[in-house]
Structure 1
Amino acid sequence: MSFKISCSPHLAREGRSGLSNNLQFAPHPRSSFEKLANGCTADLSPSSSPNDGSPIHALEVIEYLAPGYLWDFWLAQHPIYGKVVLKLVLTSNYSCCRPEYDDYIPQNEIFEEALKQEEFYLGPLADLQGDIVPKYHGLYTSVEGGWYIAIMLEWAGYALGPRVIYLKEEWLQKVYEAYETLHLHGVMHSDLCTRHILVDDNHKIRLVSFRQSARKYLTDEDDVSVLMCEAVKLRVRIGMERIKDVDR
């Protein structure tokens, strides 16, 4: 489902992604999302255009939310999906582009980063979309030159972090239950941080950022041990519990 950018008149043009009106995006040809959504198995064309008969929706970008290790995050309104977050990177100008950076990503590996996230959303996280993880709305590339890569997700609220916070018992239990559900679906989050734990408009915990995540199998004793270790780390780092109390 193609779309073009429509910037809100009061939008602050921040970040590295350099958004502009009428910038057009189409489903990336290596993305599986459109094929699954349409129930087909044929490969997508390299790009969509007004000439191929597919609708092009206007995506109204409302607000710049934050920068990430790779992506800029924008709040937007989609005519079908409603409020969404557009994760956007301009592959010629991105933050982790220098080899001396700890989180360095070569330009030719940017798409693989995006594809890994799609594989998690369409794989082990598929049943959790709209629940403890946002709904996934596709992987896109800009039509003109392909310099932009974008991921569209359901708007899932604001992060608890980035700073250290002290949660009441009620909220700690919600966080623990969200991670328990994630682990029971065989996913190790790996990046425990309050920036990646959101609270939506219905006061529900939602988890994001699966770039470092790993698939684990509940039938494998070693994998189960790894998931249990992450549960302990969660209680220590986020829950501020003493490790000797958690290990009892």
Structure 2
Amino acid sequence: MDFQTRAQLVPEFSNVAFALNDPTKVSNIVETEYGYHIIQLIERRGDMGKFRHILLKPKIPQEQLDTALVRLDSIRNGIVNKKITFDEAATFFSADKDTRNNKGIMVNNRSNSQNTGTPRFQLSELNQDIAKVVGEMKVGEMSKPFVMVTDKGKQVAAVVKVTNRNDGHKANINNDYQIIKQMAENDRRQELMDDWLQKKIETIYVRIDPNWKGCDFKYKGWLK
């Protein structure tokens, strides 16, 4: 692990890790959503710390998964028979803290995605187990219970529902505002970077190896 701040680590881990002050000692066992850790301090620099840890992920017994699948199937039947809505079921029964307070709606948290912060996903951005299930599903359809491995490496039982789906189309403001906005911001950011770099090239000395002088440089002025 590289240097991290408290905010970059889950609270259970950071509370113990940042309480360590002797690099020759290790922590007691710490439980987080990722599993069980033993942590050792390597170095502290102000509010940042560098740690190493041993992580063990407990394997969930098949009996527990089977029980969860049966429970989910019962909940799914309740939704199908209109005894409870999907929103209500997600709020009351889901163990996923990231979605249960959002009526089960998943939010894209991929940092390199054009849909970051929205409930929209490219199929390739979904957890691979979810992607396999929803690949052929239609809007409004709900899957049968299935076992998946989360991005944090945990085995869980899940049910998913497709609330909206956009087939391939020409980008437009109504359907693709967030994507178009991000593309425009990226273009503007690159334009500012290009302008800044071009001005810097004119005022700094850079030695170009003779073997590279015949290259077609993107930025002009390297060769003086």
More strand by share: 1
Q: TM-score, normalised by structure 1?
A: 0.20
Instruction: Name which one, 1 or 2, has greater alpha-carbon Rg.
Output: 2
TM (norm. structure 2) is: 0.21
Report 1 or 2 for greater relative contact order, CA contacts < 8 Å, sequence distance ≥ 6: 1
